[in-house]
């Protein structure tokens, strides 16, 4: 098999151009240079947080528009920032974005909070006054541009604010860049599907072609037998190295047997090889393993390895929950983690919802060191072995679910809450306590009303605004419960 290329780690390329009207330059001395300086200031600000900025300069006529569009297409930019510096004809804007066919963020940024009216009106020279006004009239052509984009079927979004000293504005710019980066990651992500669905769990079944159509990427269908074969190739040195890594990473409880830890170490090394072979960026898995001892041993010893993968940017969802593997990858790509979870119970005394799941957890967002406990039975599943017990870090969290609607389309469901301290169920599973601004009762009712699958991804931090932008870039509806 030829080595697979991995584009999901490539940095996003941002397209940037400013607009103006070339007729003005000979009429108003210094205006063109002034506006170019504003554009360069924006380019510098973008480059402080993102190195790959493709700057097409100030586009002020149709020829430059066609050239800029060709440049953006050749450079494969993922998003375009359009800086509106002064009035410009929409005919010099449309060709740029038509050619590139990517989302556009309109930067309607004023160089000052307000024109100094007294100083302006004292200039005396009407020509000079008009030139000064044109340096401040960024808002003027935005309705024209919006009209033409809408009629041309071009998706656009707006940021209105100040060129300088506007933290809210530049925070919004940063979030659009982050969202566009995650869109690109998903477009090139390779999702591995190991095994088969949990029989009868109807809510998790999904249309894989719809996943392709919505998020892009590639889905690789994998056989457990290949994992079994890779387990046989693990050396004693590799096995011991992985056991040492377990000891460093986890708080292994004294009642865990050396035999089960060894099985888990072998499977972990084999999983890494499987991931490397197919260049996987995420995975969903489940397998009964009944009637085949090797298959059962491979799948029952998979939890620690999958937890390590999840903590290292390759989130793994159990029960073959493809939709939730997608949600976890989105959350992880935003740097928030994204641990596999479901309702456990409700605590009406404390107004919290207990949530967690058996199987792998995102140990990089754990509160303290993740414990490893032995389980004599995996509830509802075949086999026994070692499992992880962790609580998500106390503090702000965001929940995300990829939901398949009645008509087969996908939308994103999310909520912001808090992971709070308190007693948890010490059953060898991931589990945490969550509070919501609308209260536990309302949260559960509202969340369920949208008909998600019973799993979701939980990440640290409040990132709803970023997820909304991600959805807008993909043209996917986003619903926020709280």
**Each residue of 207-234: pLDDT tens digit?**
999 999 999 999 999 999 999 999 999 9
CA 104, CA 218: separation in Å to the nearest integer? 26
pLDDT at 73 > cutoff 90: yes
189-480: what fold? Answer: L-fucose Isomerase; Chain A, domain 3 (3.20.14)
**What are the structure tokens assigned to 279, written together?**
């260049």
Q: Report the pLDDT value the prediction gives residue 376, as an integer from 0 to 100.
A: 80
Mean pLDDT of the chain: 92
Q: Report the pLDDT value the prediction gives residue 1, as an integer from 0 to 100.
A: 38
Average of per-residue pLDDT across 280-308: 91
CA 211, CA 186: separation in Å to the nearest integer? 10
Write the CB contacts of 339 (distance below 8 Å, at least 6 apart in sequence). 310, 328, 357, 361, 362, 365, 392, 430, 457, 458, 459
pLDDT-derived band at 125 (thresholds 50, 70, 90) equals confident
Give backbone dihedrals phi and psi of 186, rounded to 5 degrees, phi first. -65, -35
pLDDT-derived band at 343 (thresholds 50, 70, 90) equals very high
Average of per-residue pLDDT across 20-37: 93
Q: Report the pLDDT value the prediction gives residue 429, as an integer from 0 to 100.
A: 83
More confident residue, 448 or 425: 448
Q: Report the pLDDT value the prediction gives residue 103, as an integer from 0 to 100.
A: 93
> 480, 415 in Cβ contact below 8 A?
yes
Average of per-residue pLDDT across 127-152: 89
**What are the structure tokens assigned to 218, written together?**
């590639």
Average of per-residue pLDDT across 395-410: 97
Please state the length of the chain: 482
Q: Report the pLDDT value the prediction gives residue 6, as an integer from 0 to 100.
A: 55
pLDDT-derived band at 2 (thresholds 50, 70, 90) equals very low
pLDDT-derived band at 9 (thresholds 50, 70, 90) equals low
pLDDT at 4 > cutoff 90: no
Ramachandran assignment for 277, one of left (phi > 0), alpha (psi -120 to 50 degrees), beta (any other): alpha
Average of per-residue pLDDT across 59-80: 96
CA 93, CA 425: separation in Å to the nearest integer? 59
For the four alpha carbons of 90, 93, 97 and 99, in that order, the dihedral sign comes to: positive
Looking at domain 14-185, which CATH architecture does it have? 3-Layer(aba) Sandwich (3.40)
pLDDT at 122 > cutoff 60: yes
pLDDT at 117 > cutoff 70: yes
Give backbone dihedrals phi and psi of 371, rounded to 5 degrees, phi first. -85, 145
**What are the structure tokens assigned to 449, written together?**
């009303």
Listed in order, the ranges of the chain carrying CATH 3.20.14 are 189-480
The residue whose two tokens read 């700057």 is 55
Give backbone dihedrals phi and psi of 132, rounded to 5 degrees, phi first. -65, -40
Listed in order, the ranges of the chain carrying CATH 3.40.50.10940 are 14-185
């Amino acid at each position: 098999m030829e080595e697979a290329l991995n584009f999901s780690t490539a940095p996003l390329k941002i397209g940037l151009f400013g607009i103006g009207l070339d007729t003005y330059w000979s009429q108003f001395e210094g205006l063109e240079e002034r506006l170019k300086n504003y554009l360069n200031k924006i380019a510098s600000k973008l480059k402080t947080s993102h190195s790959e900025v493709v700057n097409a300069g100030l586009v002020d006529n149709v020829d430059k528009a066609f050239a800029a569009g060709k440049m953006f297409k050749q450079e494969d930019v993922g998003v375009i920032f359009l800086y509106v510096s002064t009035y410009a004809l929409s005919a010099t804007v449309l060709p740029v974005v038509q050619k590139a066919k990517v989302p556009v963020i309109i930067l309607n940024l004023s160089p000052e909070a307000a024109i100094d009216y007294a100083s302006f009106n004292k200039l005396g020279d009407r020509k000079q006054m008009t030139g000064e006004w044109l340096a401040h009239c960024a808002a003027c052509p935005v309705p024209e541009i919006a009209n033409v984009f809408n009629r041309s079927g071009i998706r656009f979004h707006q940021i209105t604010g100040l060129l300088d000293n506007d933290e809210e504005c530049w925070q919004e710019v940063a979030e659009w860049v982050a969202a566009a980066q995650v869109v690109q990651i998903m477009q090139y992500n390779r999702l591995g599907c190991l095994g088969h669905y949990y029989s009868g769990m109807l809510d998790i079944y999904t249309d894989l072609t719809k996943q392709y159509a919505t998020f892009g990427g590639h889905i690789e269908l994998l056989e457990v037998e290949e994992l079994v074969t890779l387990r046989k190739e693990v050396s004693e040195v590799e096995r011991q190295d992985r056991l040492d890594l377990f000891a460093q990473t986890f708080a292994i409880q004294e009642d865990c047997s050396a035999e089960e830890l060894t099985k888990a170490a072998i499977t972990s090394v084999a999983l890494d090889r499987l991931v490397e072979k197919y260049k996987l960026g995420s995975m969903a898995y489940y397998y009964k393993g009944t009637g085949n001892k090797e298959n059962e041993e491979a799948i029952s010893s998979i939890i620690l390895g999958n937890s390590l993968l999840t903590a290292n940017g390759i989130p793994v969802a159990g029960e073959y929950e493809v939709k939730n593997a997608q949600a976890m990858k989105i959350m992880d790509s935003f740097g928030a983690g994204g641990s596999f979870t479901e309702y456990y119970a409700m605590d009406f005394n404390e107004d919290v919802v207990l949530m967690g799941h058996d199987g792998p957890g995102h140990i990089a967002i754990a509160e303290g060191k993740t414990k490893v406990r032995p389980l004599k039975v995996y509830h509802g599943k075949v086999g026994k072995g070692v499992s992880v017990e962790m609580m998500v870090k106390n503090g702000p969290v965001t929940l995300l679910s990829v939901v398949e609607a009645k008509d087969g389309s996908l939308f994103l469901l999310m909520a912001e809450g808090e992971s709070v301290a308190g007693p948890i169920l010490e059953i060898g599973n991931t589990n945490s306590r969550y509070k919501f601004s609308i209260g536990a009762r309302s949260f559960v009712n509202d969340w369920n009303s949208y008909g998600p699958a019973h799993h979701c991804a939980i990440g640290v931090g409040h990132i709803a605004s970023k997820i909304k932008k991600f959805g807008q870039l993909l043209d996917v509806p986003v619903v926020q419960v709280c």
